[in-house]
Each structure stands twice: as C-alpha cells, then as structure tokens.
Amino acid sequence: MLSLQSEVKRRCCEPWGPEQNEASMSKSAVFLAYGKSLIWIALFAAVICGVMIIVHTLFVDFIHGNPNRTQVNALFMMAIFPPLVGAVAIAGSFLVFTFPQFFQAALIVAFGRLFGNRARFVALLALPLTTILTWYCYDYLTPTDVNLAINVGPEWTPYQHGISLPRYMKTLGFQASATLFSFLYFDTGFRGGFQKRIIFSTLAIAIVLGGIWGRVTAQQQYQFLGDQSSPQSRDPG
C-alpha cells in the first residue's frame, strides 16, 4: 500500500513520466508540434504586416496629414489592406518556413534515437544550417525579382540568386525568431506547460514590432508629402 502511494505521488509531482516522454517525443508528436508552430508563425507575420499598415496610415493620414488622400480613403485602406496583406504574409510564410520547420522536426526525430528527450535541443544547434535552407526557400520559392518599369533606374541590374553574408545575416535574424518560438512551443507542450503563454507573449511582441515598423515607414514617407501637409501649412493664420 505504501509503495502504491509513493508511485502515485511520484507520477503526480513529476512534470512528465517515462510513458509521457516517449509519447511526446514520438515522430507524429514532433511533426505535429512543429506544424502547429508553423501556422502560428504565419499568423504572427500577418499580424505584424496588418499592424504596420494601420500604424503607417494613422501617422501619415491622420497625425501628419496627407494632402494626396482623403481621410475617408485612409479609413477604407485601414479596413481593407490589412487582411489582404496579411493573407500574402501567410502565404509567404508557408513558402519560406515550411521546409525549415519540417527539417528541424526531422532532426529531432532522427537524433531522438541517440539522445532521447534531449534531442529537442538539436533544432537550436542546427540554426546556422537551417538558415541556409530558409534563404534558398525564400530565394527560389517567392517572387524576389519583381520590378515595375517605374522602379528600374539607369543603374538597375538583374537580380542574382544565391546567398551572401549580408543575405545570410538577415535571414538568420528571421529564422532565429522562428526557431526560438517553435522550440519554446514544442518544449512547453513537452513539459506539460501552458502553450498559451508562449502564444500570447509572441503575439504581443508581433504587435509591438508591427507598430514600430509602421512608424518607421511613416517617417520615411513624410519627405514625399511636402511641406503643404504639415499642420503649419494648413493653418490659415
């Protein structure tokens, strides 16, 4: 009777038992977790782009003033453009991050036979290699060489595929964020924690990043609006 009570207490107090570990690190569980985290990454990208458009329009058309567009049109853009751009961001995220996500999941499954539950840390160690895969997914699966005639200047040169150190470092920043979120999402679920904390925390970060991005793009556009859009120029006094 005493041994039975001890076993029950051990299973209740431990964050996971051997059976749960084996189930959590199964092939299907790993790929499912990284597939779900990919969906969340795509949604966060949509949130960032949507918030960016709203903040950008708010500063340009309502705070600074835009003589080339009415505020009614600005409100229409704030309602229509975020979902459209968000849909494009979701599609782009799937094109860029699908192969890297499942590459990391495959590494965890493969190394799980050697290192057991500690194999989940392989995704972090493989970040430099995953970044290369991410870049080539972006380079060849997305329309990176789209130019309108008005955007082509006399010094224009055709886009060249391939990776370089600046391209790699930029991609590393994006992939590091995706890898860290996927790892925390999987690790929290593995430990039996609350994944909602990771999701809501990342959502808050995405909103902040979108707001900062929108503010920066708005400041860059001010120079094209001219002095006539400033509050002083509209003051009849």
pLDDT digits (tens, 9 = 90+) for 22-37: 445 688 899 999 999 9
Mean pLDDT of the chain: 83
Q: Taking residues 175-179, what's their average pLDDT? A: 97
The answer to whether position 153 is within a domain reads no
Q: Is residue 139 part of a domain?
A: yes
Give the pLDDT confidence of 34-91 residue by residue, as tens digits.
999 999 999 999 999 999 999 999 998 888 777 778 888 888 888 999 999 999 999 9
152 falls within a domain: no
Q: Within a domain: residue 180?
A: yes
Residue 12 CB-density burial (10 A; 0-12 exposed, 13-18 middle, 19+ buried): exposed
Q: Is 149 exposed, middle or buried (0-12, 13-18, 19+ CB in 10 A)?
A: exposed
Q: Is residue 134 part of a domain?
A: yes
Confidence at residue 60, expressed as pLDDT on a 0 to 100 scale: 87
Please report the pLDDT score of residue 80 as a whole number.
Answer: 93
Alpha-carbon 70 to chain mean position: 33
8 within domain boundaries: no
Residue 9 lies in a domain: no
Q: What value does the mean pLDDT take over residues 151-168?
A: 79
Residue 228 has pLDDT above 50, yes or no: no
Q: Is 3 within a domain?
A: no
Residue 129 belongs to domain spanning: 25-144+161-229
Which of 196-229 are b and which e, b meaning 16 or more Cβ less than 10 Å from the residue's Cβ? eebbeebeeebbebbbebbeeebeeeeeebeeeb
Q: Above 80 in pLDDT, residue 204?
A: yes
DSSP the chain: -HHHHHHHHHHHHSS--HHHHHHHTSHHHHHHHHHHHHHHHHHHHHHHHHHHHHHHHIIIIIIII-TTS-HHHHHHHHHHHHHHHHHHHHHHHHHHHHHHHHHHHHHHHHHHHHHGGGGGGHHHHTHHHHHHHHHHHHHHHS------GGG--TT------S--HHHHHHHHHHHHHHHHHHHHHHHHHHTT--HHHHHHHHHHHHHHHHHHHHHHHHHHHHHHH-GGGSHHHH---
C-alpha 59 chain-centroid distance: 24
> What is the distance of C-alpha 167 from the center of its chain?
17
Q: Domain count of the chain?
A: 1
